[in-house]
Chain A
Amino acid sequence: MLQFVARRMLEALVVVFLALTVVFALQFLAGDPVKLFLPTDTTQKEIEEFRERLGFNDPWLVQYVRFIRGALRGDFGNSLRQQEPALPLVLQRFPATLSLSGVAMLLALGVAIPVGVISAARRNSWFDHLGIGATVLGQAIPGFWLGLMLIYVFSVWMRVLPTGGRGTWLHFIMPSVTLAAFVAARFARLTRSMMLDVLGQDYIRTARAKGLAPPRVLYKHALKNASLPVVTLLALQLGQLLGGAVITETIFAWPGVGRFLVQALLNRDFPVVLVGVFLTAVLFSALNLAADVAYAWLNPRIRYE
């Protein structure tokens, strides 16, 4: 097990290093990187000065080594807008994003697992059909539209919730519901199909035959065995929430990394964009690693492949 974890960690480190390279390469995707960093009305002379100052005239290998060395020290350059180091500016916004993602995840699990379990236990009942319909719909509704509809209903029409910002627990409701909807749909579907699998097993029949109370069979015997893929999906979906946060935070003016990134893109503040993208990749890789390790821990067969 230890060997497996060590190997996966090494692989994750390689991926993170390569992600850094991708972030470096992103600057050159549209040709001249200097154009990304400067407003469109900059004069030719200013462009040249800027190019020289940031070292874009050097051979790309020199630039690459300088970029990597800077990154290892946590130096990604200054935000062009705030004139401060970009890394702390992005880091400051992480707690807001993580708290929103955390609440959304709890909400998603809190709704999805009972729905999945009950749907499976009462297969083909009206509850099951309703649940399936809701999950199919939940997966088809894009977060940004759900967010707009919630704002319309609860802020414009009923005037009970704030349209955006952060402060009280009321501010959490709409963004976390928006973020949770898609994830909850996936969890409910997965829980239901895993439960159906498990409920057909012999040991469930044995448990029932022994006369155990149905809820005990359902939760103690079945859910426990059905939870393995759900645990794996958990880490992967947390990563997806980080992606979804970009849109949700923008709609609800939530002061997290996602909104900050979109603003930086609109302001063409590329040092900030590069840091944000890189940190998200690091977090995402860490979550993937956690998913792999959790899976291997719960299912020993996987370790030896």
Chain B
Amino acid sequence: MSDATATMARAAIEPRRARRRLPLNRSGAFGLIVVALVAGAAALAPAITPYGPADSDLIKTLQAPSREHWMGTDQLGRDLFTRILYGARVSLAIGLVTVGVSGVIGLVVGLVSGYLGGPTDIVLMRLVDVQLSFPFILLALVVNAILGIGLQNIILTLIITGWVVYARLVRGEVLALKTLDYVEAARALGAQQMRIVLRHLLPNLWTPVIILSSLQVAQFIVAEAAISFLGFGVQPPMASWGNMLNEGKTYIYNAWWMTTFPGVALVLTALGVNLVGDWLRDTLDPRLGP
């Protein structure tokens, strides 16, 4: 190959590579910064604050924000800022673990269902339909109340209730991919089923799964907060933004900071994650509009 044709060939490849780098817009950048800040705060919590999340000081209960306690103290004199930092750990851990596990379960179910078709598909998709016939938050609340309160059970709850959206999405994608010529060609060449699934279908599923995951993280974080807010889910003294708001509700007449700051943390995090999700969707898959 001459130098000239090599350059031309490279030039033909170059723009495609350039496009694959994700161009960042303003709201996407804002979302990334917020998510990075929340993650940083969660990771470095013990270094940022001198207090512990469960350290109570009964002399300094319900104190308004001050230089000593940036966001005030709660009814047991615990530092609110500290609890919000530690609450970020709970929120992020729940968001990531539940999305990871439920995503993998849904991916496998969706692949099996869509690829095999037939009775397997019918049974699995009926299961998905039934679960989707309950409003998500209601089902999660009831499952959590039955399983029992606590961090592990809320994670389990969100996994049980969360995998279905993945299964439905992946199945739909697989049904569409299955009919494409290149999959047909692979089959005609005698490729093993496993090879078709892993090498030809799976790589095409990452984009929709990643986009859905970014939105699911926010949904799971808010769901945990909602369930903990109602008195199930994560229990005090462990700090969760949801149970902090629940405690704050009792003191809404004398301590506005107890209901304000955990909520701001929650909204900022959900907003940040959603904006990152929107940005991922717009760049990875331009077909899907807002």
Q: Given A22, A142, A149, A285, which contacts B226 in the complex, CB threshold below 8 Å?
A: A142
**A240 vs chain B, min Cβ distance (A):** 7
Give chain B residues whose Cβ lies under 8 Å from the Cβ of A242. 135, 138
Q: Given A156, A273, A281, which contacts B134 in the complex, CB threshold below 8 Å?
A: A281
If A30-B146, A140-B271, A189-B290 touch, whether A247 touches B259 (CB-CB below 8 Å) is: no
Distance, CA A137 to CA B260, complexed state (A) = 16
Give chain A residues whose Cβ lies under 8 Å from the Cβ of B232. 265
Give chain B residues whose Cβ lies under 8 Å from the Cβ of A250. 230
Give chain B residues whose Cβ lies under 8 Å from the Cβ of A246. 135, 137-138, 141, 230
Check: A271 CB closer than 8 A to any chain B CB: no
Contacting pair B267 A193 (CB below 8 A): no
Check: A295 CB closer than 8 A to any chain B CB: no
Distance, CA A285 to CA B190, complexed state (A) = 43
CB neighbors of B among A121-178 (8 A): 136-137, 139-145, 148-149, 151-152, 156
**B248 vs chain A, min Cβ distance (A):** 7
Distance, CA A18 to CA B126, complexed state (A) = 8
If A156-B253, A247-B226 touch, whether A19 touches B145 (CB-CB below 8 Å) is: no
Give chain A residues whose Cβ lies under 8 Å from the Cβ of B253. 156
If A144-B229, A148-B249 touch, whether A277 touches B146 (CB-CB below 8 Å) is: no
Distance, CA A277 to CA B141, complexed state (A) = 10
Most buried by B among A151, A273, A281: A281
**B94 vs chain A, min Cβ distance (A):** 14
Give chain A residues whose Cβ lies under 8 Å from the Cβ of B229. 144, 247
**A179 vs chain B, min Cβ distance (A):** 13
Closest to A190 in B: B290
Give chain A residues whose Cβ lies under 8 Å from the Cβ of B231. 266
CB neighbors of A among B213-256 (8 A): 218, 222, 225-226, 229-232, 245, 248-249, 252-253, 256
Q: Given B135, B145, B249, which contacts A280 in the complex, CB threshold below 8 Å?
A: B135
Distance, CA A171 to CA B225, complexed state (A) = 26
Check: A254 CB closer than 8 A to any chain B CB: no
Give chain B residues whose Cβ lies under 8 Å from the Cβ of A240. 135
Closest to B144 in A: A265
**A18 vs chain B, min Cβ distance (A):** 4
Contacting pair B134 A142 (CB below 8 A): no
Give chain A residues whose Cβ lies under 8 Å from the Cβ of B136. 243
Give chain A residues whose Cβ lies under 8 Å from the Cβ of B27. 136
Give chain A residues whose Cβ lies under 8 Å from the Cβ of B275. 136
**A110 vs chain B, min Cβ distance (A):** 22
Give chain A residues whose Cβ lies under 8 Å from the Cβ of B130. 15, 18-19, 21-22
Check: B191 CB closer than 8 A to any chain A CB: no
Closest to A12 in B: B133
Distance, CA A14 to CA B122, complexed state (A) = 12
**A101 vs chain B, min Cβ distance (A):** 12
Check: A260 CB closer than 8 A to any chain B CB: no
B-side residues, CB < 8 A to A, are 27, 126, 129-131, 133-139, 141-143, 145-148, 218, 222, 225-226, 229-232, 245, 248-249, 252-253, 256, 259-260, 263, 266-267, 270-271, 274-275, 289-290
Q: With A193-B289, A281-B133 given, can you name 7 additional A-B contacts, CB distance below 8 Å?
A: A136-B275, A145-B263, A145-B267, A148-B249, A247-B137, A273-B145, A284-B133
Instruction: Give me the 6 closest cross-chain CB pairs, A-B, nearest first.
Output: A243-B135, A145-B263, A140-B271, A18-B130, A140-B270, A265-B145
| 30 pairs, CB–CB < 8 Å, chain A vs chain B | A15-B129, A15-B133, A16-B133, A18-B126, A26-B143, A136-B27, A139-B274, A140-B267, A140-B270, A141-B267, A142-B266, A143-B226, A144-B225, A145-B266, A149-B263, A151-B252, A189-B290, A197-B289, A243-B136, A246-B138, A247-B226, A247-B229, A250-B230, A261-B138, A261-B142, A280-B134, A280-B138, A281-B134, A284-B134, A284-B135
